[in-house]
Amino acid sequence: MTERILIPTDGSATAEVAVDKALELAELYDAEVLALYVVDTIAMDISLGTEQVERIRAGKFGEMEDLEDRARSATSRVAEKARERGLTAEEHFRGGRPHSVIADFAEDFDVDLIVMGSHGRSGVKRALLGSVTERVLRSTHRPVLVVDEREGEDDE
């Protein structure tokens, strides 16, 4: 039974396609929605002090208002759409390696399904760019639904 669905989001168009699919499923199963924004603190370690990085990992942004605005904007869109459908939604913020944080969060919150977007890249592009979604698939034992960002496009 699907009671809790995790939607990692960065507010991108790719994530939004996954949000819509996740909310359809949440509505079908009357599942609780958990929206998660992860700040890649590993990439930020060079420019930030250790104390700032630790606060971000705990979901506290301090004086980093732009970062907090992006995070809140992304998760609040998910939560608002969920509530419009009569669903329960929570917003969460974390920092660290995105794939690890998502996998750990799913375990900690006993998530039944993770729904994420993908650019649908393959071959060299995927190898060069990496993929948080692919790494999540390798890092968790929880079910993951990968939604291709092109899913909503018309076939031509």
Q: Helix or strand or coil: residue 122?
A: coil
Output the domain CATH number for residue 44: 3.40.50.620
Q: Is residue 20 part of a domain?
A: yes
Q: Is residue 120 part of a domain?
A: yes
Confidence of residue 48 (pLDDT cuts 50, 70, 90): low
Confidence of residue 129 (pLDDT cuts 50, 70, 90): very low
Q: What is the pLDDT of residue 148?
A: 82
* Residue, of 84 and 126, whose pLDDT is higher: 84
- Give the list of residues 6+ apart from residue 40 with CB closer than 8 angstroms, or none: 95, 96, 97, 98
Q: Is residue 156 part of a domain?
A: no
Q: What is the pLDDT of residue 122?
A: 56
Model confidence at 119: pLDDT above 70: no
Q: What is the pTM of this model?
A: 0.84
Model confidence at 87: pLDDT above 80: yes
Q: Is residue 152 part of a domain?
A: no
Phi and psi based region of residue 62 (left: phi greater than 0; alpha: psi -120 to 50; beta: remaining): left
CB 18 within 8 A of CB 150: no
Q: What is the pLDDT of residue 57?
A: 73
Tally of domains in the chain? 1
Q: Is residue 61 part of a domain?
A: yes
Which residues span the domain enclosing 57?
Answer: 4-147
Q: Which whole number is the average pLDDT over 117-143?
A: 73
Q: How many CA atoms lie within 13 A of 23 on its CB side?
A: 21
Q: What is the pLDDT of residues 29-38, one digit of tens each?
A: 999 999 999 9
- Give the list of residues 6+ apart from residue 126 with CB closer than 8 angstroms, or none: 134
Q: Is residue 136 part of a domain?
A: yes
Q: Helix or strand or coil: residue 100?
A: helix
Q: Helix or strand or coil: residue 140?
A: coil
Q: Is residue 155 part of a domain?
A: no
CB 37 within 8 A of CB 73: no
Q: What is the pLDDT of residue 103?
A: 98
Q: Is residue 154 part of a domain?
A: no
Residue bearing tokens 């506290």:
60
Q: Helix or strand or coil: residue 93?
A: strand
Q: Which long-range contacts (CB under 8 A, 24 or more apart) does 44-50 make?
A: none
Q: What is the pLDDT of residue 156?
A: 40
